[in-house]
Amino acid sequence: MDPDGTNAEAKRTLLSRAKSLRLHTGNLVNRTRLKKKCPCSPGEELQECIQATMSSWFSTTDGPNEDVPDTVVCNIPQATDAIVPEERDELKVSAKLFLFESGQSSIRDAVEMACQTLAVSQLDSVIIAPRRLLDSDDQTLAPLQPAWEELEALVRSQRIAAIGTSDLDKDLLEQLYNWAQVKPSSNQVNLASCCVMPPELTAFAKEFDIQLLTHNDPTELISASTFQEAMQEGTQHVSAADWRLEWLLRYSVIVKSRGIIKATGYLFGARKPEL
């Protein structure tokens, strides 16, 4: 459909009236547009995903979500990653959650959307990226604790099987382990800032059976201005200045027996601030 046609205009109106936005990029393994640009950084991939998904959503003819009129759900129907129940035991579903605003509701919203998107009752593991929560000179666990308690609640309700964290040094990881009711099963280390695993961190993780993983996510995966710019370009110049990114979840679906990534994608939650 022509970008300036009736359908696009209806979606512009929908976005202007909505209070919250939920976006699903679909399975990036199947996104040929992105493959042509690889290799790219996680931040560049993310920006391209937002633009491409919003643009594709504008070209579809589906109507607004009547059940939740205040929330716009942007996705690409043919790119959904729903898991067939017969295959569930053969697959590992993991996620990494980035919080841009504090609030336990963001964590629950992200996990619930992931479960619904993938058609599963439980995520095998969720790693929280607490960099923004712990971004201060005073390196204490307090900013992370409310978020961790929400993750623990999701473990108890069987929405998540195991929870982990990212970028904690040995002291903070030890504080978390000693305080938490549900212990961290993993801790990601960014090798861009640490070429070799710190010996004290390795020793502690080994003693308490915490898996040490690596990642290459930048300090700021996406800035507020970059998110608004990508959204505005993808929505054909709809004003995105009012939208604030609340959370971002990156998921992976891996075939256990072969270690092959079957699906990977991003889910976003954004909102307009209350007036």
| HSE value, Cβ hemisphere, 13 Å, CA-based, for 106 | 23
Cis peptide before 143 (omega within 30 of 0): no
Beta bridge partners of 245: 270
Name the pTM for this structure: 0.89
**Count H helices, E strands: the chain?**
8, 9
Task: Region of 26 please: left (phi>0), alpha (psi -120 to 50) or beta.
Answer: left
Residue 153 maps to a domain: yes
Tell me the longest C-alpha to C-alpha distance in the chain. Answer: 62
Q: Are 128 and 151 in contact (CB under 8 A)?
A: yes
CB atoms within 10 A of CB 38: 9
Residue 1 maps to a domain: no
Residue 36 maps to a domain: yes
Residue 61 maps to a domain: yes
d(CA 272, CA 245): 9
Residue 191 maps to a domain: yes
Residue 265 maps to a domain: yes
The number of folded domains in the chain is: 1
d(CA 125, CA 271): 26
In the sheet with 211-215, reading across from the earlier edge strand, the strands are: 71-74, 20-24, 260-271, 244-255, 91-99, 123-129, 160-166, 186-190, 211-215
Chunked into runs of 10 residues, the chain (275 residues) has average pLDDT values of: 59 81 86 56 81 82 55 74 91 94 86 95 95 67 92 98 94 96 95 78 96 87 85 73 88 93 92 77
Enter the DSSP assignment of 82. P
User: What is the per-residue pLDDT for 11?
Assistant: 77
* Domain limits for position 13: 6-271
User: What is the per-residue pLDDT for 80?
Assistant: 64
Cα-to-chain-centroid distance, residue 124? 15
Tell me if residue 188 falls in helix, strand or coil: strand
